[in-house]
Structure formats: C-alpha cells, structure tokens
Amino acid sequence: MGNVTGSVDLAGMERLQYDYSSALMPQDRPDSFTMWRYRKLLPGADGPVRYPMPIGGTPLLPAPALRQTLGMPRLWIKDETRNPTASNKDRATALVIEDGLRNGKDTITTASTGNAAIATAFGAAAAGVRAVIFVSTDCQPTKLALMAQAGAWVFRVPDGYAAAVDLSRGAARTFGWLDRNTGANPLTIEAKKTVAFEVWEQLGRRLPDVMIAPVGDGPTLVALDKGFAELVSCGLTTRQPRLIGVQAEHCQPLVRAWLGMAPGPAELDPAATLADGIAVVRPAIGDAVLEAVRGSGGAMTAVTERALLSAVATLAGEAGVGAEPAGAAALAGLESAVEGGLVDRLETVVLLVTGRETKAGGRPAEPSRSAVVETLDEVQRVLEGNR
C-alpha cells in the first residue's frame, strides 16, 4: 500500500499525506474493480488484502430518464448503494478493519446513526472480529435488527448520538479496541476519498464541474475534497469540482454556519427528519466541511422533508436507484441548487447517492447482545456477564 509521508491537522483529526506523483494512480482500464485499486494512495503495508468483502468500484450511472426530466444532459449518479451493506460506510469500515487485522485487533467499535453500524457489524462478521456498536435509543428498529443479526453487540444510549460517540470513543481508549468512529479515525477519510478517484476515472479521467453529497458528521464530503485535491497533487488534473453539501432542514447546523446564522431549535431537531444518516447536531468535522466547500467554490444547502421524499421517489422511478432519505439528499439538494443559481443545467454534475434502506430477513437476532447503557462500567458488566 502507499507510504504515508506525514500528516496535518484536520479539525483535530490527522490528515494523511503521501509522496504524490502520477505513478500512484493505476493506468489500466479494468471492467470491474474495488477500492483496493487505489492502494498506493491508501495507508498500510504491502501484501495481500485481508478484508474479505469486495468494496467500492460502484457504478457511475448516466440515468437517461432523469436527465431528460431535469433537462440536465450531463447528470450522473454515483451509486454507493451497491456496496455490500448498501451504503458508502462500507469503504471506511473495510479500511479500518484491514488495519485492525494487520495489528492483531479482535474488537472494533463505532457509534453510528445507523449505516456505519450496519457496515461495521457485517464487516466484522466477515472478518471474524467482534463488533461493539453504540447508537441512540432513537435508532431505527430495522437498522438495529440488521446489526444484531450480524452478531454485533449493540448498546443503545438514551442521550442520543453525541453521547453514543463519547461512549464508543471512551471504550476504544479504555479497552484498546479498534476505533472506527467517523471523523475520529483518519482512515475513514482515506477510504471514502476513493469515491473521488473512481468518479474521475469513470468520467474518462475527467472531473465533474459539481459534486453534491449529503453531510452528517462530514467525512463523506471532506473525503471527496481530499480525493480531488490528491488528483491535483499527483499532477493528474489542475482543478477541483465545486462541492455542494446537503443537510435536512430540520437538522442543518452546517448550513446555518455557512450562512453565518445561529440555528434555531427547529433546525437542530434530529428526530424531526427521516434523513437519520445526516441528522447530526454536532458534526464531528464540521469546520473541515465548511473549509472544503468554501475552498472548492461550492455551497451548503438545506432541503425539506418533502423534497427528500420526492427525491427518493424520483431516484426509484426515473433512475431505478433505491435510496433512503439521507441517501437521496443529493438529488433534493440539486433541485434547490439549480433554483438558487448555484448549478447550471448544462454542467457535468455528479450526485452521490450514499445509502439504501435494507431489510433484515430470517430469524430474529439474539436479544442478549443488546442493552441500554449510559456508562462504560455498564458496558463492561454486560460484556463480562456474557462471556
């Protein structure tokens, strides 16, 4: 894998750097590939990849019917729902577990609004490591069922997602577990930046004018910015696309910050939006999101629940892409960006569709691997009592 040559601070998290050159980017044109294609721009030692599931290499879809409806002939959908657990979270999970397998870790932990936890539960199951998940007690039951079915320990935290993050990070420090927390482990950014490399290659080694992505904690968008910046550093392109970040009207801390306005309580109400994946009140790397958006000449935009639901329906009906509300946010954001004059219909625009709802089938999961907790002592007691 690539040789990391240093790091700079990224909102309290390391931003890894390499000895950039065009030789780090593969030259061949494979019919199908995975994110490990970009190993020279990922951290870690050489040798076979141990993570057992194929990740990334998701399609860039032309969506002809949607192009026609919107009058946007150069619109593309980067369909991240094609990853093994149907979201872009599989990329970060894979690189963190790969690192853990190489360092002899047997337990991975993360907090999550849902999808990162599902990716972690399934990825850990595939790799033979234990997953210990922390979610808000508000987490969707269908998502909880999937985590449990993959054999993860699931701790539900009454004080919400931010408290779940604190507990998971505390557990990683205290028990020496692998910390997959998004916006805390720099490998999450490294993995997710491979989306930018894929888009560039899939457009024939060209960049779009604009890329639109949903924003929760921020790593998805910040990673796009890092990936595009690395293409510039490698001498493969000279500019970066404008990045447009999308949040739900009911939980839009970064849109308000972008506008220089303090959010009111109705704009910080995660329970009020169906877009649970992006319902984050205190984004882990919010400042880095604003910097990336500003630096690219892009913008932040908020979308209504109605627009989110309509985007879900449009993606299904006009592109054949099943998305959950957070996963469809880029399309909702596109419509408001076009109306607001931020995007021209003739530009090359890529929508990042980040996730699809999935169903848990089969037998119900083992209930003993779940508990409501508020402290690390409780976590330890539950785990020790079930050895």
215 lies in the binding site for ligand PLP (CB under 6 A): yes
Q: Structure tokens of 70?
A: 């919107």
Q: Structure tokens of 376?
A: 């690390």
CA–CA distance, 164 with 4 (Å, rounded to integer): 31
Instruction: Map the footprint of ligand PLP across residues 59-88, applying CB under 6 A.
Output: 87
Q: Structure tokens of 202?
A: 């899939």
Kindly tell me which residue out of 354, 357, 369, 373 binds ligand PLP, with binding defined by CB under 6 A: 354
Q: How far is the CB of 235 from ligand PLP (least distance, A)?
A: 28
Q: Structure tokens of 206?
A: 């060209």
216 lies in the binding site for ligand PLP (CB under 6 A): yes
Q: Structure tokens of 233?
A: 């550093």
182 lies in the binding site for ligand PLP (CB under 6 A): yes
Beta strand pairing status for 75-79 and 242-248? unpaired
With CB under 6 A, what is the number of residues at the site for ligand PLP?
A: 19
Question: What would the x/- binding string for ligand PLP be over residues 271 to 310, using CB under 6 A?
Answer: ------xx--------------------------------
Binding segment for ligand PLP (CB under 6 A), chosen from 110-118, 119-127, 262-270, 332-340, is 110-118
353 lies in the binding site for ligand PLP (CB under 6 A): no
- The H helix count followed by the E strand count for the chain is 13, 13
Instruction: Map the footprint of ligand PLP across residues 111-130, applying CB under 6 A.
Output: 113, 115-116
Q: Which is nearer to ligand PLP, 70 or 111 (CB)?
A: 111
- Asked if residues 89 and 159 have their Cβ atoms less than 8 Å apart, the reply is no
Q: Which is nearer to ligand PLP, 56 or 234 (CB)?
A: 56
Of the candidates 202, 197, 204, the one whose C-alpha atom is nearest the C-alpha of residue 226 is 197
- Asked if residues 18 and 24 have their Cβ atoms less than 8 Å apart, the reply is yes
214 lies in the binding site for ligand PLP (CB under 6 A): yes
Task: Provide CB contacts within 8 A for 207, sequence distance 6+.
Answer: 199, 200, 228, 231, 237, 239, 240, 241
Binding site for ligand PLP (CB under 6 A): 87, 113, 115-116, 182, 214-220, 277-278, 324, 326-327, 354-355
